[in-house]
Structure formats: structure tokens, C-alpha cells
Amino acid sequence: MLADAARCVKCGLCLAECPTYALSASEALSPRGRIALIQALDAGQLPADGHGAEILGSCLLCRRCEAVCPSAVPFARLMDQGRAQLRGRLSRRERWLPALLSRPTLSRRLLWLGRLLPKSSSLGRVARQASAVATSLKPLYRPKEGEVRGRVGLFTGCTGELLDAPALEAALALLLAAGYEVAVPEGQGCCGALDAHAGNAARAGALMERNRAAFAGAGRLDAILSIATGCGAWLGDQQNPPAPHEDICAFLAREEVLARLRFHPLRAVVAVHLPCSLVNVLKTEQAVLHLLEKVPDLQVREIGRRGGCCGAAGTAAILRPGMARELRQPLLDELDDLGPDLVVSSNPSCRLHLADGDDSGANHLHPLVLLAQQLVRE
């Protein structure tokens, strides 16, 4: 951890890119301020207290600072390690919410209870947008006819069936239409990102090992595909996967895959939100735009500052709703001006967060859902 922190030369190029610094103008809430805190804690110059835990815990991990850092400081890894050191000082909600959400049975019950909360509650709003019925997925899907082009694994994650069930179904439709067998291993679960970001490195590692075993047992795979960019950013950082990880939109946008897909025209305006995890970590935002441009007559309009954070940041919209709303407002203003028919975002927490504040009546969905709806099915 200290070697990673020492790579920061405190140049300040990250300041203009950091969403929490932009809101607070506080050096403590900037990337270099948080790194300095970690160094001071390790040197015994500051106590491991709740104030330090709040400074590290308030980072949204948008990783925009990593994208512009001339010294290639692995900031997200530093934050996870720093939070692990201060885990006992994090609030109870920060420690236990990831543990609940990463367990499908418990998270479904939590969201059911959340529907009883007032509409002003951030958890209550998320719960009302979640699916109440579990999606039943088979371990293996095969194309109905034609040449099989390859075999891929589909990563569903812990909240996929709750928050992204239509996207999972759309992913299957698109992959099968492109001629791919799709394995959906039964033993997979949460990627571990939520626990890692809450300082629980041991559980995050155990969850990742479980996923490795599940996909290794699925046989030969050309790739493991994720549909949520937050999960994808974490999966892409892991070492020795049983097959290469790839964001599903990047996979579908490959020339040899996209050549097998055709789409019906759609006369509509779609506002495209590109999550920070997609831009700053996966760096495949052009694939999403390229796919949408393949739908005839569809007008594609990008919203937001590319690489910026909408405020959702996994659990931040629940844990720090005030900050989340403030960061979301410029995007909502753009939607008001644009008046789109559809809004797409490839990360579930971002999509729910934007939909919660949008009064325009536009339909919010994953890009895969729009593509599957317009897919020409043979």
C-alpha cells in the first residue's frame, strides 16, 4: 500500500476531475488528500478514527483520477486497502449494506421491506424499482440453428436478477442471435466489489474465488461477459480468470459479432449515459455508441461529462443521498432540455439513480434491452 501511495507526486491534476472535491473544495476530499491521509495513518501521525473513515468512505471510486494520473497511481486499490484498515470505524450501514446486497435472498427481502419505507427514503425508492420476481436462468443456452460461432459465460452478479433482469434476458437474445452458446454457471454470485469497497477484503476474495470455480467448471469459454459496468470494472482487475473478461457491449460491437445482428428502425431520441466505470476503467464507451448507431433512424445523444460520476456509485445513492442528488442534477437538467424518448445506461445503480430523479416520463433501460427490442429475429 505504501509503495502505491508513494507514486503520488501530489501534482494536483486530479483535482479538477474529482467529484467530491468539486462539491466541497476541500483538499481532504481530493485524491491526493485521501492518499496523504493513508500515509499519515500508516506513519502514526493521525489516529484511526471515524473522521478518517468518513473521508475515505465518501470517495465515490469513479476512478477519474486514475484516468488522468501521469504517475499511474492505483487509486481504487489504495482506497480499498485504506478502508480495510479503518473498517471498524466505518458506519454500520457502510459495513452491512454491501453484505446484505451481495446475498440475493437477503437483498430480495431487504428490498421488499424497503417498499414499506416512505418515498423520501433512498432505499425505498430503489426498492420500488427492483424486480419482485426472481428470474429463472438455465445453466446453458444454445442457438436454435446455424453455425455455433463460440461459447461465452454470462456473469449475472448478485443484484442482476433484482435490478437488471430485462438486461440479462436481452443479453441472451443478442448472444444467441449472433450464434454463441451461453453458459450461466449456477455457482456464481456477487463479484465482491461491494465488500472490497467497504473494507471487507477477506469476503471479497472469497466471493471472487467462488466465481472463478463456477466459471472454471463451465467448460471452455471464449470470454466471461458482464452486463453491469460496475461489476465489469472489478472483474477486469482480477488476476488469473478462467477466461478473459469483457464488457458485453464491447463483445457485441466486435466486427465479426455485430455482422450477424440486424435491427429494426426506431424513430426515437435516446439519451446515452456512459457510466464512469465504463469510461475510466473499462474504456469501452465507444462500443455502446457504435451499437446504438446500428439501429436505423435512432437519434443518439450523449449526456453528462464523459468520465464524470452521476453520484450513484454503487451504494452511495443510499448512504450519501444528498451528495448523490447534487451530482445527478446536471444530468437531469440535460434530460429536461433534450426531452428524449429513452434514456440508457449500462450500470444498474446509475440507471436507477437517474430514473429516480427524472420527471420527463422517458423510459430508462439498459442499452441491451433497447437493442434486443429492435433485433431482427430470424
Domain 2-90, classified CATH 3.40.47.10, yes or no: no
Domain 140-255, classified CATH 3.40.50, yes or no: yes
Pairing type for strands 223-226 and 245-247 reads parallel
Of 368, 371, 345, 373, which is closest to residue 358 (Cα–Cα)? 345
The whole-number pLDDT of residue 109 equals 66
298-to-115, 129, 269, 361 alpha-carbon distances in Å? 35, 26, 6, 18
Instruction: Output the pTM of the full model.
Output: 0.91
The whole-number pLDDT of residue 133 equals 55
Domains 140-255 and 262-374 share a fold: yes
From first to last of its 378 residues, what are the pLDDT tens digits of the chain?
788 999 999 999 999 999 999 999 999 999 999 999 999 998 889 999 999 999 999 999 999 999 999 999 999 999 999 999 898 898 888 888 877 777 766 666 666 666 666 666 665 656 556 655 556 789 999 998 778 999 999 999 877 777 788 999 999 999 999 999 999 999 898 899 999 999 899 999 999 999 999 999 999 999 999 999 999 999 999 988 999 999 999 999 999 999 999 999 999 999 999 999 999 999 999 999 999 999 999 999 999 999 999 999 988 988 899 999 999 999 999 999 999 999 999 999 999 899 989 988 899 999 999 999 999 987
Contact criterion met (CB below 8 Å) for 232 and 249 = no
Domain ranges in the chain are: 2-90, 94-129, 140-255, 262-374
The CATH number of domain 262-374, selected from 3.30.70, 2.40.50, 3.40.50, 3.40.1350: 3.40.50
Angle between helices 50-57 and 31-42 (to 10 degrees): 140
Pairing type for strands 140-141 and 180-183 reads antiparallel
205-to-195, 197, 280 alpha-carbon distances in Å? 9, 12, 23
Furthest C-alpha separation in the chain: 67
